[in-house]
């Protein structure tokens, strides 16, 4: 199962979102050319909206690739910062170039290395965005819970995992996502919702 929503609905939703930023368009083109899994523009649009509503001071992103999702966050920030994390230096170097081109460098901090380890040094995280190894989402949340600010948001991409979450015999990776979703809904630490946009976006409020 590849599409969570009816492909025609998906097409309709995409037709509503216009992008006029040439840097974002260039990043989408690069993602397409390299077959690199950046978030869909509908998800980028969603991240932008949440950031506008929340007005965070600090966003920490785990798994930034060449910066497409972080660029959406940065565009929506008023005076905060987004921390990009990726263990591939070449990705972060590309991200730096795109941010420079979009005049957003001063809104970003660039980190290379293991995203969870790097993130530990940040306190009072207002938005934690998970888009690194799916099997490590739960571990990341447990490790970083105490680094979150009051009323922090956690956003996680791919939580419906191409629909595999409803398979009768889920594989190990899918089981890890199921465990993560269970924790986010049932630990009593978060109030969560999954928006079935693209591959499923989890939005959780720390309580
Ligand atoms: C799905 S891509 C991220 C796409 C990006 N969020 C976007 O939408 O533009 C996942 C990225 O996470 C990175 N990654 C995976 N596990 C990581 C880890 N433990 N620490 C740092 N980076 C990691 C990979 O190198 C890859 O670039």
On the CB side of 78, CA atoms within 13 Å amount to 9
CB 4 within 8 A of CB 196: yes
Distance in Å, CA 130 to ligand 1 centroid: 9
Closest ligand 1 atom, residue 67 Cα: 9
Asked if residue 51 has its Cβ within 6 Å of ligand 1, the reply is: no
Band of residue 4 on the pLDDT scale cut at 50, 70, 90? confident
Asked if residue 143 has its Cβ within 6 Å of ligand 1, the reply is: no
Asked if residue 69 has its Cβ within 6 Å of ligand 1, the reply is: yes
- Is 65 contained in some domain? yes
Q: Which of 87, 92, 99 to mutate to test the pocket of ligand 1 (most atoms within 8 A of CB)?
A: 87
Q: Kindly list the distances between the CA atom of residue 138 and the CA atoms of 59, 96, 110, 190, in Å, as whole numbers in the listed order.
A: 18, 29, 23, 13
- Is 195 contained in some domain? yes
Residues 6+ apart with CB under 8 A from 78: 55
Q: Kindly list the distances between the CA atom of residue 157 and the CA atoms of 22, 40, 188, in Å, as whole numbers in the listed order.
A: 24, 10, 21
- Is 90 contained in some domain? yes
- Is 162 contained in some domain? yes
- Is 102 contained in some domain? yes
The count of domains in the chain is: 1
Distance in Å, CA 98 to ligand 1 centroid: 17
- Is 2 contained in some domain? no
Q: How far is CA 87 from the centre of its chain?
A: 16
**Looking at residue 176, which CATH number applies to its domain?**
3.40.50.150
- Is 91 contained in some domain? yes
Domain extent at residue 190? 7-206
As a whole number, mean pLDDT of residues 14-40 equals: 96
Band of residue 1 on the pLDDT scale cut at 50, 70, 90? very low
pLDDT above 90 as % of the chain: 96
Pairing of strands 201-206, 190-195: antiparallel
Q: What are the start-end ranges of the H helices in the chain?
A: 7-16, 22-34, 41-54, 68-76, 89-101, 115-119, 137-144, 172-186
Atom 7 of ligand 1, nearest CA residue: 38
Asked if residue 85 has its Cβ within 6 Å of ligand 1, the reply is: yes
Write the burial class of residue 135 (CB in 10 Å: 0-12 exposed, 13-18 middle, 19+ buried): middle
Q: What's the pLDDT at 136? A: 96
Q: What is the pLDDT of residues 155-190, one digit of tens each?
A: 999 999 999 999 999 999 999 999 999 999 999 999
- Is 144 contained in some domain? yes
Residues 6+ apart with CB under 8 A from 39: 47, 68, 69, 72, 131, 157, 198
Q: What is the pLDDT of residues 82-136, one digit of tens each?
A: 999 999 999 999 999 999 999 999 999 999 999 999 999 999 999 999 999 999 9
pTM for the model: 0.97
For residues 90 and 188, what is the distance between their CA atoms, to the nearest angstrom?
Answer: 39
Distance in Å, CA 88 to ligand 1 centroid: 8
């Amino acid at each position: 199962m590849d599409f969570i929503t009816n492909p025609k609905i998906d097409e309709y939703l995409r037709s509503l979102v216009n992008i006029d930023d040439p840097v974002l368009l260039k990043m989408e083109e690069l993602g397409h050319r390299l077959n690199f899994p950046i978030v869909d523009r509908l998800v980028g649009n969603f991240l932008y909206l949440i950031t506008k509503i929340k007005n965070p001071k600090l966003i920490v992103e785990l798994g930034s690739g060449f910066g497409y999702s972080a660029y959406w966050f940065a565009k929506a920030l008023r005076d905060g910062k987004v921390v990009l994390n990726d263990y591939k230096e070449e990705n972060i170097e590309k991200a730096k170039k795109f941010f420079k081109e979009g005049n957003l460098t001063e809104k970003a901090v660039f980190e290379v290395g293991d995203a969870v380890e790097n993130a530990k040094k940040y306190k009072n995280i207002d938005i934690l965005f998970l888009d690194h190894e799916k099997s490590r989402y739960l571990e990341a949340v447990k490790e970083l819970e105490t680094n979150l600010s009051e009323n922090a948001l956690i956003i996680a991409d791919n939580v419906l995992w191409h629909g595999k979450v409803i398979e009768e015999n889920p594989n190990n990776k899918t089981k890890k996502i199921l465990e993560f979703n269970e924790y986010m809904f049932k630990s009593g630490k978060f109030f969560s919702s999954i928006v079935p946009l693209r591959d499923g976006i989890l939005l959780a409020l720390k309580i």
